[in-house]
Amino acid sequence: MAQPETRVTKQRLAVAEALGEVDDFATAQELHRWLVDTQKKVSLATVYRLLQSMADDGLVDVLRSGDGEARFRQCLTEVHHHHLVCRVCSKTVEVLAPAVERWAARVAQENGFTDPEHTVEIYGLCEECRRAAS
């Protein structure tokens, strides 16, 4: 069944603009603060709802911090991907991982599942933070 087309509203455009202004992942509260500071009238609840909708549509990446808070950014690539995340500075790199895709499909099939979906975040130290710690 086809997905219903998502309406493009002023609020959705404002949230997309806010996402375009951040270099890395941002929380809904941080994006809302930017919207307030730039005189855009979008409630925090609407920011949360729009970010979830954009994530569902594959337009934004979502990472969960250690305390479970969601952080968002516009996808840099349009294909399914995963992330390398620095534990110190939170620098994030998008990576394609065809071996992970094959593994997920195989594990699902072996267990009688279909249409597997997954997210993979690999946490480590980026080169700059590793050098700084040396």
Angle, helices 28-37/44-56, rounded to nearest 10 degrees: 120
Q: Which of 73, 68, 85 is nearest to 123 (CA)?
A: 85
Q: Which of 123, 122, 119, 17 is nearest to 58 (CA)?
A: 119
pTM greater than 0.85: no
Q: Which pLDDT does position 3 carry in this prediction?
A: 47
Q: Which of 89, 33, 96, 85 is nearest to 63 (CA)?
A: 85
Low-confidence ranges of the chain (pLDDT < 50): 1-4
